[in-house]
Amino acid sequence: MEVKFFKKSLPTLIFLGVFSAIAVPIFYHLLKVEKKLKIYNPADVNPQLVDFSIKHITKDHKIADFKLTNQNGDFITNKNYEDKIYVADFFFTRCKTICIAMAFNMNELQEYYKNDDDIMFLSHSVTPVMDSVPVLKEYAINKGVVDGKWNVTTGAKKHIYELARKSYFAVLDQGDGGEDDFIHTEQFVLVDKDRRIRGYYDGTEKEEMQKLKEDIVLLKEEYASK
């Protein structure tokens, strides 16, 4: 009776084996897809954060080309961040409120990823006239900035403010980057190797930094699977 049962069950066992071999990888792949980070386009972001001229855009948004000057007086462009995942923020050296926690958390991230060549950091001064290269250099030393890993930058105010409003969608208020224009935001923005926005985080909150680390893991897995 046992032999007869085995013979009857063999085709079923073969079917189940083949089904498992096909279905399990597919199921695993679907789970991975569900965990893939969102790609942010202007239409996906709070409309108050997006310049009116680009609110209608639903795909293919990328961080615009930029040219800034870092703490060492070197020009920094998108080429310096080519094929890198990076975290961007907006600060000013004289800030005594949110920027203190932001700088601390950015430094902690820099330490966490110090041996990971895929990850970099980019800070933009929102008071670029006051934040000259010597001022940025002193700030960088005080905050433990590692050259080549984290650039704290100055540049043309209109250029920086346009990046904040039209590329990173980091601020709620409108303006033209003129003399009286001022932006202040706690946002950290996660940018992938293709210059696309993949996440927003409150740079003053420790819990948000943990979420950022978890999202970077997902982003690295996404690139590893390509």
- pLDDT band of residue 26 (cuts 50, 70, 90) is low
Tell me, what's the pLDDT at 52? 73
Tell me, what's the pLDDT at 23? 56
- Indicate the range of 98-102, 117-121, 144-148, 180-184 predicted with least confidence: 180-184
Residue 7 has pLDDT above 80, yes or no: no
193-202: per-residue pLDDT in tens? 999 999 999 9
Tell me, what's the pLDDT at 203? 97
Q: Are 183 and 171 in contact (CB under 8 A)?
A: yes
Q: Are 38 and 198 in contact (CB under 8 A)?
A: yes
Beta strands in the chain (DSSP E): 67-69, 75-77, 85-91, 119-125, 150-153, 187-191, 197-202
Q: What percent of the chain has pLDDT over 90?
A: 68
Tell me, what's the pLDDT at 130? 95
Structure token digits, residue 126: 């929102």
* Terminal alpha carbon distance of the chain: 52
42-87: per-residue pLDDT in tens? 888 887 777 777 877 889 999 999 999 999 999 999 999 999 999 9
> Three-class SS of residue 90?
strand
Average pLDDT over residues 159-181: 80
Q: Distance between CA 38 and CA 48 in Å, rounded?
A: 20
